[in-house]
Chains A and B, each alone.
Chain A
Amino acid sequence: MYIILLGILFLLMIITPLIFKNIKATGLVTILGSLFILSITIKIIMLVSRFHSLSFFNEFFYIDSLTLLQLLIISSINIIVSIYSYKYIQGEIVEKKISLKRGRLYYFLFNFFVFFMIFIALTNNIVAMWIGLEGTTLTTAFLIGFNINKESLESAWKYVIICSIGIGIGFIGILIFVNGYSSGDPAQILKWSHLAKSSTPQSTYAIKIAFTLIFVGLGTKAGLAPMHTWLPDAHSEAPSPVSAMMSGVLLNLALYVILRFYIITKHIPGLSNTRWLFIIFGCLSLLISSFSILRQLNYKRLLAFSSVENLGIIALGLGIGSKITVFGALLHSLIHALGKSLLFLTAGNILSAYKTKRIDKINALIKTMPINAVFLILGMLVIVGAPPFPSFFSEYSIIVGTVQSGNYIITALYSLCLLLVFAGFLKVFIKIVFNAEPGVTYEKLEIDKENTLPLSLCFILIIVMILFMNGYLSSMINNAVSIICN
């Protein structure tokens, strides 16, 4: 029922920009639709909390707590971003940066993008997950190259090539993976819920290869280093709402797909060591991104690197694999989505006010754009893991987990990277917000008040998360943890 409802909703949302010429109406429809999606998500959450898991359409769709987490992330970020887009696109059109047609294209692609993400989260079919990922590549490729100029085209091209190769590799992995189970019932073989329960495959060797291919291939899409190279380019060039969506949700979702395969792989005897892939690539991502953050000239690029870093943290947490770290990783994916969206959207506001992404061109934001400055600082605190924000607990639980499992080197490395990221963030954002050049008087900009509703909404969600962290949220995450750790 709900799935059909969702499908119809998306159909409407996708068609609207094609039919309606009015950009405002399209925007409103999108906001309305995302509201509906959120309410459906909440409804589904309530259902699942009662039945533990649900499946629809001959198990083509399957919902458990892990899915719920993704759904929650997608739908909450979606509503924030669609509210943001409403003013953003209008502003762009008013400033004659884009034509009306492109504005409608934006909504078309954006809704498609969201559709694919929800599809990935809901589907039970492992190949369908892949299709969904490929679909997000297709839609976001245009969204990244949205402002057709040299930089955005370059980044879009890199994105398309690198991600399609990655996804191609992942697909080979999936093929081999499925082949490893070919003795089973052909009707069931592509179903994740079936695979997770099924007995050992014919060849664990093939599964090993397959999982590595899947990990590296889809890891490209998830932005794990050293396959992350497309990410800073794409995130810095895409329109800010798209960056927020990609950074907060899409990367996470790609990791989610890997995780689904990992859950299957993990239960095969002798293959639980594949978790080292998570640890190694997680650490690599942490290292590379944290050092890169130290010397960035472009604040959106900085945020992109931070996404790599946070994905590294999540991967590390999943890789360590004890209950506490997995809990931390899942919690972190949630708070990172919110925090990073907050930062990207604020960055978008700053970009539209200053027309530059260069850090050294922006000073004394607290004087010129006080509201955005406050959100920027708050977002920074969320991302670097300052309490009482949940990111502190998620990052800390990973420290506890690494110590508990005896991987002290990883603890040291992890702490070092956290420190470096902290230093890098602090240097840049404190400079942007507080630094005042002597002899310059800073006037308050009118644009400051524009488009702050989504920011405050985002922050309210974070506050809500703090409040619910010990209650419903943690029980939901704990359910998800038990799916992974079993």
Chain B
Amino acid sequence: MIEDLLAVILISSIFMSGVRRVKLVTRVFIFQSLAIGLIALKLGLDTGKMDYYILGLLTIVTKVIIIPIIINKSLNQLKVNREMDLIVNGFISYILTGIFIMISFGILSSSHDNYIKTGIALFIIGVLLMVARKKAITQMIGFLTFENGIVLFEISLTKMSLVIEAGIVFEGLLLALVMGIMIFHINKTFDSINTDFFENLKE
């Protein structure tokens, strides 16, 4: 069950790396988050620890419900919801993610922890989305993907106290909120959310 879910996460994330339409990326992201939430719930079921339940529930509530709402809200105001000119085009993006994931798996070959491997894959894709895309909203999704990777790490590595874990997830939510508000303002002031306009400050 967990392995299947991890597979879902990997597949979805690789899809994310090349898709141009922002809406589609968002949907894939929802899938991914849902899978992560389910993993956490499943682990909770297996081990019977409250931590996992809470984590899973929080993930689902924030990343599957609230954050997509924020994203959609900002998407609705956009004129163009498609990445027009990518810094790295879709084709190469796929290949790049493949190569990077291969390398990272190679480095981690001694470990049998699939959470970590998947988590690293998520990091790579998140980073790719942030570095190779121009739309602010894609960058935000990239960041959230990155954060999903962190959640996987968290699941695998440690057991923390409840308050702290709640704090972490809550902050993730807040961050998404902040980004959403900013995208709203950016769209209003710049009339676009393309980061190409973000070049006033240099030197």
Contacts and interface: CB of A to CB of B under 8 A. Distances in A.
Interface residues of B, number: 35
B10 interface: no
B201 A172 contact: no
A357 to B, nearest CB: 11
Contacts of A182: 157-158
Contacts, number: 100
A135 to B, nearest CB: 7
Contact of A295 (B136, B200, B201, B203): B203
Interface in B119-174: 123, 127, 130, 136, 139, 143, 146-147, 150, 153-154, 157-161, 164, 167-168, 171, 174
A186 B186 CA distance: 44
A64 interface: no
A158 B158 contact: no
Interface residues of A, number: 44
Interface stretch (B30-38, B52-60, B71-79, B177-185): B177-185
Contact of A138 (B123, B157, B171): B171
A246 to B, nearest CB: 16
A232 B159 contact: no
Given A131-B164, A138-B175, A165 B200 contact: no
Interface stretch (A81-89, A95-103, A144-152, A279-287): A144-152
B143 A165 contact: yes
B47 interface: no
Contact of A160 (B150, B159, B178, B198): B178
B87 to A, nearest CB: 15
A186 B130 CA distance: 36
A466 B146 CA distance: 47
Contact of B143 (A148, A151, A164, A292): A164
A131 B123 CA distance: 20
Contacts of B182: 141, 145, 153, 156-157, 160
Interface stretch (A26-34, A173-181, A312-320): A173-181
A150 B201 CA distance: 10
A149 B189 contact: yes
Q: Taking chain B's interface residues, is the majority helix, strand, or loop, or is none over half, making it mixed?
A: helix
Contacts of A138: 171, 174-175, 178
Contacts of B174: 138
A236 interface: yes
Interface in A265-289: none
A160 B142 CA distance: 13
Contacts of B159: 186
Nearest to A236: B201
A172 B200 contact: no
A127 interface: yes
A224 B150 CA distance: 23
A157 B189 contact: no
Contacts of A156: 182
A128 interface: yes
A164 B203 contact: no
Nearest to A179: B157
A141 B174 CA distance: 12
B154 A161 contact: no
Nearest to B131: A165
A98 to B, nearest CB: 14
A134 B171 contact: yes
A25 interface: no
Contact of A190 (B139, B164, B179): B164
B126 to A, nearest CB: 8
A395 interface: no
Contacts of A301: 203
Nearest to A176: B157
Contacts of B168: 127, 131, 171
Given A175-B158, A176-B157, A237 B178 contact: no
Chain A CB within 10 A, most for which of B136, B167, B195, B201: B201
Nearest to A139: B178
A309 interface: no
A161 B175 contact: no
Contacts of A179: 157-158
Given A138-B178, A164-B175, A172 B150 contact: yes
Top 5 nearest A-B pairs by Cβ distance?
Answer: A179-B157, A233-B201, A154-B198, A134-B171, A175-B157
Given A154-B197, A171-B150, A186-B159, 6 more contacts: A127-B168, A128-B167, A154-B198, A160-B179, A165-B130, A176-B153
